[in-house]
Chains A and B, each alone.
Chain A
Amino acid sequence: MLVDTLGAQAPAAARTDWHALARGARVKRFAGQSALLAFLLIVSVPIILPYFWMVVISFTARSGGVSTDVLWTSCAVIVPAVLIYSAVHLLAPSPRVRVIAALILLVAVGALLAALVGGQLHVANYRFLWRTNIIEEIRSKATAGGQFPSVWVAFRNSLALALTQTLLILTVASLAGYYISRFAFRGREAFLQGLLVLHAFPAMTLIIPIFLILHWVGLLDTIPGVILVLTTIELPFYVFVMKGFFDAVPWDIEMSAMTDGASRRQAFRLVVLPQVRVGLIAIAVFAFIRAWEEYIFVRTMLIENKNWVMSLYLFWVSDDIMGVDYGIVAAVSVFYVLPSLLLYVFCQKYLTQMTIGGIRG
């Protein structure tokens, strides 16, 4: 009887038009992908365009003003190329075709750009890298901060600040994160909530008390002073992130290491730390970039020009010659943004992991 009922329904099943369904699904997927691609292209324009403009200005602007000719010419070459590649990407699923198309387009864009704007490019705006007194040359007088320092002094200060801060954060956040993740202690919950609350408060509100404290302890206008302040403000967040990463490491391997003869410290170093390597890299990159771009606190607490960091150097350059020479300001900006950009590009996959680790917490 059961078989009979199934038999009666068989013609209905045969009438299903599988080809039409498959076609429908393909059209739908194609439309979805196109819409996604278009959306991503559109939202990336306001982010990419200013950076691109900055780079263009730094290589083309000459003293006295800035023209948008080169920018629009380059866009007229690059935008169609991007659109053509998008079309190829959507229509050709084979990776070979995609790579070949990308290479052809790159060569075409390079040739066109060289022909149309190549003659206007120059590196004179980057002369701040090897000459110290450019500001006086341009304005024929000293800057507000006195003699303008070499960019390399600021670069060295920035590097020292960012590296030290990264090292401090790595050490404290990994140890504290491990402890909070593994040990029960009185007030653990309150401590965790405290970390979050601390992170939620805008640190800016503390700027006057911090300024005064630094002044009283004699660390005002010193790089170590700024390092201490910034590390303290940033730490809660990183401790929390590291706790999330340690939470994800199973207890079993630690117990196993201890029965295998390791002390708790050895188990931590040999077995647990390698498991949170991704987390360590992520917070290191993040901490470095944050320290590299820090502005408000260094602006407040570093005064003398021998203590300038890159952000202050950029500020004073633009303060002194904005409206006179955009080219140099753009060139300094490019030089300033380059390290964080490179770091970000190479470590991007670790940074995306950080949120995962954080959520687990």
Chain B
Amino acid sequence: MARIELKNVGKNWVGATAVDRIDLSIEDGAFIAVLGPSGCGKTTTLLMLAGIYNPTTGDIAFDGARVNDVEARDRNVGIVFQSYALYPSMTVLENIMFPLRFKKVERAEAERRAREIAGLVRIDALLERRPSQLSGGQQQRVALARALVKRPHLLLLDEPLSNLDASLRLSMRTEIRRIQRELGVTTILVTHDQIEATTMADRIVVMNAGRVEQEGTAKDLYEQPKTLFVASFIGSPPINLFDGHAEDGAIKVHEATVPLNGSARGNVVLGLRPESIRVDSTGTPARIIAVEPMGREVLYSADCSLGRVHFLEAGAEARHREGDNVALAFSPADALLFDKSDGQRLDAGIAA
């Protein structure tokens, strides 16, 4: 178990920057998620922590000690790869015992530990099989056991659930969380799936284009996004974004003019979460153009003076039909304003 720090860490490939000077610190025993679209540098960051890649700039520290020059084999980091990366020529037990080969652990002791960890991830019955004879979920557990058997300082999970089907993904989320709590191992989960990040991790780091956009709890990121990217990446169905122009205390969006609260000038983006828009007879007229029942709620698409909006209504039954004319309103407090040029959140809000 260790406290992990990244200071100004960057990685450049020939002609490309994968990770652009990020700072991050992770408490001992914490579970954090690195969330971002593919190609945002999250896997590169992970591999730098593991010692597979050397950072081009900056320092990585475990428990305050710089480990840049420590080889991967000596870092005592466990990784679960997206592909699981089990060794196909070995049995499950041999796979789990593999890391202990290099640790001067006696064979009997190694086997005892392997069986113990296999029990923890519930694959005791599969130890004599080969990876090719296992289902995806079982392979995943083997990979987890292999990463944990060496009692790592740091556990890295690289998109561990993306090859599983939906119901298995749900149970593995809880399962990984349970095991992490039980062992108290510092864990970093890399994922592009916000549900995974929000359900499993204590804290989420959103990355984009090699930089950290924002870090915080799921609630922070959802309610107080610092940038346009975070606002648009987090939330499902996604936030409604409208391009507008702010001047003289108001924003012109499409055919509508919205009063500003605070000062802003130039091109801005107005963001409205689908659930903060509601049908209200005092609102602006809109015409429903699509109805998508989603189980416990219904997603509508409608055209109004702001443009095309998506909004949610609770309840399994759709109350409006395609072609209906309704009136829509939103509470000004829920509106988010961003500067169009740099994507940063603006202090200004919408006046009531």
Interface residues of A (CB under 8 A from B): 250, 252-253, 255-263, 266, 270-271, 274-275, 277
Query: Which chain A positions have C-beta within 8 A of B101?
Result: 261-262
CB within 8 Å: A-B pair count: 65
Q: Could you tell me the distance between the alpha carbons of A259 and B152 in the complex, rounded to whole angstroms?
A: 10
Smallest CB separation, A211 vs chain B (Å): 45
Q: Does the CB pair A262–B102 fall under 8 Å?
A: yes
Q: Does the CB pair A275–B89 fall under 8 Å?
A: yes
Q: Does the CB pair A255–B47 fall under 8 Å?
A: yes
Query: Which chain A positions have C-beta within 8 A of B47?
Result: 255
A267 nearest in chain B by CB position: B73
Interface string of B39-78 (1 = CB under 8 A from A): 0000000010011100000000000000000001111011
B51 nearest in chain A by CB position: A259
Query: Which chain B positions have C-beta within 8 A of A263?
Result: 73
Query: Which chain B positions have C-beta within 8 A of A259?
Result: 50-52, 72-73, 75, 77-79
- Interchain CB contact (< 8 A) of A256 among B51, B81, B103, B150: B81
Query: Which chain A positions have C-beta within 8 A of B273?
Result: none
B146 sits at the interface (CB 8 A): yes
Q: Could you tell me the distance between the alpha carbons of A255 and B83 in the complex, rounded to whole angstroms?
A: 12
Q: Does the CB pair B72–A250 fall under 8 Å?
A: no
Q: Could you tell me the distance between the alpha carbons of A271 and B87 in the complex, rounded to whole angstroms?
A: 6
Q: Using known A-B contacts A259-B51, A260-B146, determine if residue A253 contacts B75 with beta carbons closer than 8 Å.
A: no
Among B77, B81, B82, find the residue whose CB has the most chain A CB atoms closer than 10 A: B81
Q: Does the CB pair B86–A255 fall under 8 Å?
A: no
B77 nearest in chain A by CB position: A259
Among A250, A261, A275, A277, find the residue whose CB has the most chain B CB atoms closer than 10 A: A261
Smallest CB separation, A317 vs chain B (Å): 46
Q: Could you tell me the distance between the alpha carbons of A20 and B86 in the complex, rounded to whole angstroms?
A: 51
Smallest CB separation, A283 vs chain B (Å): 19
Return 25 A-B CB contacts under 8 Å, by A number.
A250-B85, A252-B82, A252-B83, A252-B85, A253-B87, A255-B47, A255-B52, A255-B72, A255-B81, A256-B81, A256-B87, A258-B72, A258-B73, A259-B72, A259-B73, A260-B99, A260-B102, A260-B146, A261-B99, A261-B101, A262-B102, A270-B98, A274-B89, A275-B88, A277-B89
Among A253, A263, A277, find the residue whose CB has the most chain B CB atoms closer than 10 A: A253
- Interchain CB contact (< 8 A) of B73 among A252, A261, A271, A275: A261
In chain B between 77 and 133, which residues have their CB closer than 8 angstroms to a CB of chain A? Answer: 77-79, 81-83, 85-89, 98-99, 101-103
Q: Using known A-B contacts A250-B83, A263-B73, A271-B87, determine if residue A258 contacts B102 with beta carbons closer than 8 Å.
A: no
